[in-house]
Each structure stands twice: as C-alpha cells, then as structure tokens.
Amino acid sequence: MTPAQKSATDVAAEATGPKIIIVIQQKGGAGKSTITVNLAAVSGRSSVMQNDIEDAAVIAAGIDPQGSLEDWADRVPEEALPFDYLVTRGEVGVLTKLREDPTRKRIIVDTPGFMEIDPDAAWGADPLGESRVADALREVLDLAHLAIVPITPEWLSWKPAEFTIERILKPRKIPFLVVINLHDPRDGDPALDAVKKWIDEHGYPRMSDPIRKYKIHAHAAENGLTVVEYKESGTALRAREDFMSLALTVEQAL
Ligand SMILES: Nc1ncnc2c1ncn2[C@@H]1O[C@H](COP(=O)(O)OP(=O)(O)OP(=O)(O)O)[C@@H](O)[C@H]1O
Ligand SMILES: [Mg+2]
C-alpha cells in the first residue's frame, strides 16, 4: 500500500468507522476489564434497542496476550450478549483493519496493566519500551479517540493514573476521562472527596459520579455476566445506573 492510499483509507475510516475507546491505567486492579465489558454491555444494549445492528455495533476488545477478556468470554453464553468481543492476544493490525468496518460504531479496548516501563525514559520519550504488549498498546493508542483512566479511592492508584495521563496520553494528544471506580458507599463522602479533589487539582476531566463498589460486580465476572443481565434488585439497579452514566459521559466526550 502506498502512503497516499493508506491516508485515503485512514480518512475514510475516520469519517465512517467506529470510535475507539481505550481503557488504560498502568496499575492493575483499578477496573479496566470490568469497565470495558460493562460499558460495552450498556452501550451495546442501546444500539440493539435502536435496531442499529447487523454485526453488533459495539465491540469489546482485549489486547492482553494473557487474555483476561478471553477468560471472561469463556464463561459467557455468547448469544446473550448485546456486543461482540474480540481478543487480539497482542496481534498488531487487527484493530486497524476493524476500523474500516462502517457497521461498527464503538470499539472499547481493554488493556493490560503495564508494569514493565522504562523508568529512565526521557520526559517526552515513550516509556512503554519494547515488548509485544507495548506494540499492541501503541497500535490502540494511535487509533484511540478517547481514553478512560480508572482510578480508585485507594491512593495507590493515583500516581499510576498520573503517569498514564502525563507520559502516555498527553504526549499523544489523546482526550481522556478519569473515572473513579470501586467507591464503597459505606465509606461515605470523605474518601470520595479526597480522590475527586486530587483529580480536580490536576485539572483532569472526570466523570462526576463514581462507579460504586458492589459485590455483585465481582461475582458477575466469575459467572461471565454483565450489568444488563444482573438479577433485578436495588443493588443491580444502582450498579447498572453507574454504567449508564458512564456511557452517557463517554458519548458526550466523543
Ligand atoms: N465497581 C466494582 N465493584 C466491585 N468489584 C469490582 C468493581 N470493579 C472491579 N471490581 C473487581 O476488582 C477486581 C479488579 O478489577 P478488573 O479485573 O476489572 O481490573 P483491571 O484493571 O482489569 O486489572 P488488571 O490490570 O489486572 O487487568 C476484579 O475482581 C473485579 O471483579
Ligand atoms: Mg484486566
């Protein structure tokens, strides 16, 4: 492919292709996979309701060579899902190709935590280093329209969020949204206010309300369920509401 043809393809994909949302945070356990799957579920359900699908309009993709999304998908009754899922296992090129499919509207990409960064990389240099995961991450970062950075009230996730934003997203000019996850309603407002204050002091855009911590989410992951399939209960409604707000915030940010 000549560079001229390639850029024509890029232009076409940009105009009609799906919007790509990367869920990224250096630290493990902040909720990247949970957010990917449940955001895809609520967004996919609304596109089903609008009769907007042949192949599902929403795709949850995982680039992790370890395949955490794959583990989850193994437990899911596929026909029950309002979205497609795709596991690239770190293969570069799959997402770039998919971007040319105009039937797809949103691709939400789960990424692995990246602990193997180059601590000595010069400010402004890419600290992702050389590895299969790094190459896969760079591909998604090149394509992404928006990044979601999950953070928890637990301060251990704050520095890695800052690193992700300052060293990975800002140099690439990728718009981002910080999302507070795992807020335990029983902890009350002080814990939540502290993390909100930290985010706001850094001038980072954030989703106004947090995604609350409910046991139902952790159990769901084991059973391959998403928020749209939780058995009706007050908690299930609140859990779903959190992801509906996230979907709305994401759509407004795109
Ligand atoms: N809002 C929530 N309420 C309850 N449990 C949650 C919530 N979000 C995530 N969890 C649980 O916390 C754990 C970590 O979440 P998850 O696997 O989504 O994080 P991750 O960022 O993808 O981690 P990794 O970097 O290791 O892939 C999982 O057991 C998940 O079920
Ligand atoms: Mg994960």
Residue-by-residue pLDDT tens, the chain, 254 positions: 445 566 776 776 677 789 999 999 999 999 999 999 999 999 987 665 555 555 688 999 999 877 677 777 777 766 667 888 888 888 899 999 999 888 889 999 999 887 666 667 677 678 888 888 889 999 999 999 999 999 999 999 999 999 999 999 999 999 999 999 999 999 889 999 999 999 999 999 999 999 999 999 988 877 778 898 888 999 999 999 999 999 999 999 99
Query: Tens of pLDDT along 28-64?
Result: 999 999 999 999 999 987 665 555 555 688 999 999 8
Whether ligand 1 lies within 6 angstroms of the CB of 157 is answered as no
Contact 195, 152 (CB under 8 A): yes
Cα(12) to centroid of ligand 2, in Å? Answer: 32
| Residue from 206, 240, 214 nearest 82 by CA | 240
What domain range is 101 assigned to?
3-253
Whether ligand 1 lies within 6 angstroms of the CB of 218 is answered as yes
Rounded Cα–Cα distance for residues 10 and 152 (Å) = 36
Whether ligand 1 lies within 6 angstroms of the CB of 181 is answered as yes
Phi, psi of 21, deg, nearest 5: -115, 120
How many domains are there within the chain? Answer: 1
Angle between helices 234-253 and 215-223 (to 10 degrees): 80
Cα(51) to centroid of ligand 2, in Å? Answer: 30
CATH number at residue 141: 3.40.50.300
Hey, whose CA ends up nearest to atom 24 of ligand 1? 28
| Residue from 143, 129, 114 nearest 30 by CA | 114
Rounded Cα–Cα distance for residues 250 and 117 (Å) = 28
